Chains A and B, each alone.
Chain A
Amino acid sequence: MRATSVQMGHFLNYRVAAWGTTLIVLGILPGCGIGPNLTRLLFTALVWIITSVAWNLLGGFTGQVSFGFAVFYGLGAYTAAMGINGGLNPLAAFAISGLAAAIASIPIGLPTFRLRGPYFAIATIGVSEAVRVVMTNLSFTGGASGYRIAEHGPFRPLEHYYTALGFAGVAVVISAWTHYSKFGLSLQAVREDEEAAADIGVNPLKAKLMVHLQAAALTGIAGGVYARYAAYIHPQGVFAFHTSVAILLMPIIGGAGTVAGPVIGGFVYGLVQEELVAAFPQFHLLLYGALLIVIILFEPRGVVGWLGKLRVFIERTWRKSAAASVG
């Protein structure tokens, strides 16, 4: 894979530096006395980033737009909640969350991946709504009235923050690996043309199931991390359609099919949503709906696409002015 190794080198040179800086800044920020409110905001943003990056594996790289990620998020949240209540170490509980979501992804993926494009998208709406209705009626998880996590000991926001940061870092590494690896190339082949991908030896169903599994596991972990922080979860929250919608909007607005896009999307969504929800409960969705329309019509690569265009524009004007000053 000559092309890949060239890309890999490029990737190592420039991007690792940018990602490393981001990680270090986020790592030392809570130590700089930013206050509990900002820490909470950053924590929420990090959880959203995990889900956004996970969705992008399936929706961005592989082109399978799913409206059903709340299933994995909710399942992870409930699994972690029950594990922690059962006396498990939180990290072990998160691992089981990821596992539960990954296992659930198989029976969901097997039938729905027979469908293409919009039909897959619609079927995932059906799956996620059916799961929500069942969870609302299930008695051993508390049904519609929700489930409470009773964790002993003091509330340590920094522990939650660093857990989220760690998993977000893992998610980004998986995303970058998926983008530049042979597996990632096969996913992109499936996105562009399933028949052609099958002709060159990619098994589309297997590739989709594999990446669905990864995405589900990450989303489940994010759900678990959120559940432990919130200490109370209910089906209308974690399994709600608007959770699926949020998980879909972030990567598309940030830039589907890129590594940085979902991170930017998740970060902005996390901050903006948390701040706006208090003041105008619905305004952020109005804003994001409008943004989605604009992005579909003008720039399918989202914010990352706009940033790229901006860079080209700046470089061009800089070169022009340089040439003018020489002439």
Chain B
Amino acid sequence: MDTTDFANLLVSALLLAGIYAAMSVGMTIIYGVMKIVNLAHAGFLMLGAYFVLELYERLNVDPLVGSLLAFPVFLVAGMLVHWLLVKRIPVSDQPTLASLLLMFGLWLVLQNIGYLIWGNSDRSILTPRTLSSWHLGPITIPTVRLTVFIPAVCSLGLLEFVLRRTWYGRGVRALMQNRYAGRLAGIPVEKMARLTFGVGIGLAGAAGGLLAQLYSFSPDFGHGFLLRSFVIIVLGGLESFWGAAAGAMVLALVETFIILVLPAGYQPAIAFSLLVLALVVLPGGIAGIFAKKHRWA
């Protein structure tokens, strides 16, 4: 492999990492504040993709604008889901099976509503950008990858800004560190949880819209991305956004460069094996670390 190929692969890994980070961050924020493993994330990615598709096909809204519009719509939907379902399960400072199974049930419902509405054929969003590409010297960049990468990174930057600079963001970070201390300091935990769930789902919807411009999708869309999101947030240490970005980078690099040594058919297995490896190699799992941290609290 010469340097040009290497540079091409590196650039495509970087572009992939951006969208991976944007896709997993919604899950990270929900996990951080509520300790809920959001299996329904995949369902909202899928709905985001169809939301953007419908806007594009019916109203000719550009998919990038559609993804932007998906955020407020899914934010409201997420808050509704929290109000209807999530707040009814017992609060815990460790992830529970009840919340996992609840979100899993929700995923099944969303997925099969998707099948009822859109059938099971593969769809894709084709814009003039889809097939064009940029040339930076010897490096070729598909335009659509770049136009998806930029909003993905911008959304991460914006989220980071909100978390660092606003009252809401400081509250979120406080709750991530210690729920009880946060409550004592006067943070309205219930309201924050609802809003955060909305933000997490909103990010999922927008990320689904972005992903839809890169891949074809069906109502089962999101399944593979759900597992990739897990890998990313587990690699990144579950609660940190820079960790999620680093995890996305690791996964994107591994997935991109593994095709040099493994047949492409095996590529999906990489994420899944990496997931098990990441969970197991961290001693006692992430849960173990939390159990220790909270025993002193």
Contacts and interface: CB of A to CB of B under 8 A. Distances in A.
B288 interface: yes
Nearest to A63: B97
B275 A289 contact: no
Interface in B46-103: 85, 88-89, 94-102
A116 B108 contact: no
B279 interface: yes
Nearest to A287: B112
A254 to B, nearest CB: 14
Nearest to A108: B276
B227 A118 contact: no
Contacts of B162: none
A127 B102 CA distance: 22
Given A121-B100, A281-B115, A290-B109, A130 B272 contact: yes
B188 interface: no
A116 B97 CA distance: 10
A185 B94 CA distance: 25
Interface stretch (A15-23, A38-46, A293-301): A293-301
B108 A126 contact: no
A137 B112 contact: no
Given A296-B105, A297-B88, A137 B97 contact: no
A112 B280 contact: yes
B263 A296 contact: no
Contact of B263 (A112, A137, A245): A137
A87 B108 CA distance: 41
Contacts of B112: 282-283, 285-286, 289
A130 B269 contact: yes
A241 B276 CA distance: 16
Nearest to A296: B102
Interface residue tally on A, bucketed by range: 35 or more
A65 B97 contact: yes
Most buried by B among A116, A121, A281: A116
Contacts, number: 133
A129 B272 contact: yes
A118 B27 CA distance: 14
Contact of A123 (B85, B96, B279, B288): B279
A207 interface: no
Contacts of B272: 125-127, 129-130, 133
Contacts of A126: 227, 230, 271-273, 275-276, 279
A123 B280 contact: yes
Contacts of B88: 297
B246 interface: no
Given A115-B285, A297-B102, A292 B108 contact: yes
Contacts of B89: 296-297
B98 A296 contact: yes
Contact of B285 (A114, A252, A283, A285): A114
A288 B230 CA distance: 24
B105 A289 contact: yes
Contact of B266 (A115, A133, A300): A133
Contacts of B275: 122-123, 125-126
Interface string A120-156: 0111011101100110110000000000000000000
A65 B101 contact: yes
Nearest to A285: B112
Contact of B102 (A119, A125, A136, A293): A293
B123 to A, nearest CB: 16
A308 interface: no
A182 to B, nearest CB: 25
Given A122-B279, A123-B280, A137 B265 contact: yes
B97 A133 contact: no
B268 interface: yes
A117 interface: yes
A111 interface: yes
B270 to A, nearest CB: 9
Contacts of A111: 276, 280
B284 A296 contact: no
A130 B94 CA distance: 27
Given A119-B285, A289-B108, 20 more contacts: A65-B100, A115-B279, A115-B287, A117-B97, A118-B37, A118-B96, A119-B279, A119-B287, A122-B37, A123-B279, A125-B227, A126-B275, A130-B273, A289-B111, A290-B105, A290-B109, A293-B105, A296-B101, A297-B85, A297-B89
Interface of B: 37, 85, 88-89, 94-102, 104-109, 111-113, 115-116, 120, 223, 227, 230, 263, 265-266, 268-269, 271-273, 275-276, 279-280, 284-288, 291
7 shortest interchain CB distances as A-B pairs? A289-B108, A292-B105, A286-B112, A126-B275, A282-B115, A133-B269, A289-B109
16 contacts: A114-B280, A115-B287, A118-B37, A119-B279, A121-B37, A123-B279, A125-B275, A126-B227, A126-B275, A127-B276, A130-B269, A137-B263, A137-B265, A283-B112, A285-B108, A286-B113
